Amino acid sequence: MVSAEQLNSEGIRLSDAGKYDKALFAFTTALELEPANPRIIYNMALVFIRKGDYATAGELLERAVALEPDEADYHCDLGLCRYRLGDREGGLAAYDRALEIDPTHSTAWNNRGVYFFQGERYGEAEECFRTSVNLNPDWEDSWFNLRDTYEMLGDRKRWKEANNMYRKLMKSGRKS
């Protein structure tokens, strides 16, 4: 008999290969064996995020958070879903909760920066993106966002530095 953990691993592998429907089947089958496993619920939510179904992903992430409230990744991805569904404040609250749990969560810092950038609060956005790149200096998304923030702040020198780092990472082909 196949275990829930084996099915969860298979679902992750299938999702990484872009086989979302097969991944969802693996996660659904795993949840039949362990319906209250927050990691399986979370991994299933990630598939829905990749498919652009933020409503379903958000519902799953709410379940995962209820089962395991001190997991920063769950809150961070819940923030993304809320944000994409138009609940900017709910998204920010989830990012903040992720950072309460894990102050070194570079994705939560980056996503928090996007919130401030889109609200034209560039000083706060800069602080978030700077923290994100300090925590994860090889993540090109944060460098891209930091670069754009410097452009909005009119800081040509720091824009050039961030742009050079962003281009270097893109050229290297490394994904963080």
Q: How confident is the model at residue 176 (pLDDT cuts 50, 70, 90)?
A: low
The mean per-residue pLDDT over the stretch 126-143 comes to 97
Please report, as a single letter, which amino acid is at residue 27: F
For residue 41, tell me if it sits in a domain: no
For residue 90, tell me if it sits in a domain: no
For residue 51, tell me if it sits in a domain: no
**Three-class DSSP category at 2:** coil
Question: Structural domain tally of the chain?
Answer: 1
Q: Which residue has the tokens 């196949």?
A: 2
Residue 127: which CATH number? 1.25.40.10
Q: What is the 3-state secondary structure (H, E, C) of the chain?
A: CCCHHHHHHHHHHHHHCCCHHHHHHHHHHHHHHCCCCHHHHHHHHHHHHHCCCHHHHHHHHHHHHHHCCCCHHHHHHHHHHHHHCCCHHHHHHHHHHHHHHCCCCHHHHHHHHHHHHHCCCHHHHHHHHHHHHHHCCCCHHHHHHHHHHHHHHCCHHHHHHHHHHHHHHHHHCCCC
For residue 98, tell me if it sits in a domain: no
Helix or strand (DSSP H, E) at 64: helix 54-67
The pLDDT of residue 108 is 98
pLDDT (tens digit per residue) in 97-115: 999 999 999 999 999 999 9
* Residue span of the structural domain in which 127 resides: 105-176
With contact defined as beta carbons under 8 Å apart, do 75 and 96 qualify? Answer: no
Q: State the Cα–Cα distance between residues 157 and 39, nearest whole angstrom.
A: 44
Q: How confident is the model at residue 173 (pLDDT cuts 50, 70, 90)?
A: confident
For residue 5, tell me if it sits in a domain: no
For residue 145, tell me if it sits in a domain: yes
For residue 149, tell me if it sits in a domain: yes
For residue 168, tell me if it sits in a domain: yes
The pairs formed by 93-99 with CB atoms below 8 angstroms and a separation of 24 or more are 98/72, 98/73, 99/72
